Amino acid sequence: MKAPVRAGNTGGAQLVRNRPLFSRRTVLKGYDETRKAMIRTEIDWKACELIEQIPGKVSGRPIVRGTRILPDAIVDSYDLGETIDELHEGFPALSVGQIKRLIEFAHGQRGQPAP
């Protein structure tokens, strides 16, 4: 049996005049600028000693040596506000030193200051 539809029910989406209740900029303040900076510069991970590329493993994308972890995931999460300790909790296979090195390498490629 279907639940009755109440007046004004939009199926869970909260709309105000056919727009989301919160804009993306309101919810993720600073996200747009950070994401643009990350997308703008492609990182050549082959030059980093912690990275390997194996055809057929994670579609041949650069990964942290001996894992299936994408270095971009580490660096992007850091750039969006995660701390080194939070990253280490999320990626326990990596040491804090490895995480710092990936971030330093990426920021050096992009011309940004290291952590």
pLDDT in tens, 51-81: 999 999 999 999 999 999 999 999 999 999 9
Q: Where are the domains of the chain?
A: 32-110
Which residues lie closer than 8 Å to 24 by C-beta, 6 or more apart? 31, 32
Q: Which CATH code fits 32-110? A: 1.10.10.10
pLDDT digits 0-9 by tens, 6-28: 455 445 444 444 544 444 444 45
Q: What are phi and psi of 63, to 5 degrees?
A: -135, 160
> Mean of the per-residue pLDDT values for the chain?
77
Model confidence, pTM = 0.63
The percent of residues above 70 in pLDDT, for the chain, comes to 61
Residues 34 and 76: their CA atoms lie apart, in Å, by 9
Q: Smallest Cα–Cα separation from 115: which of 65, 73, 77?
A: 77
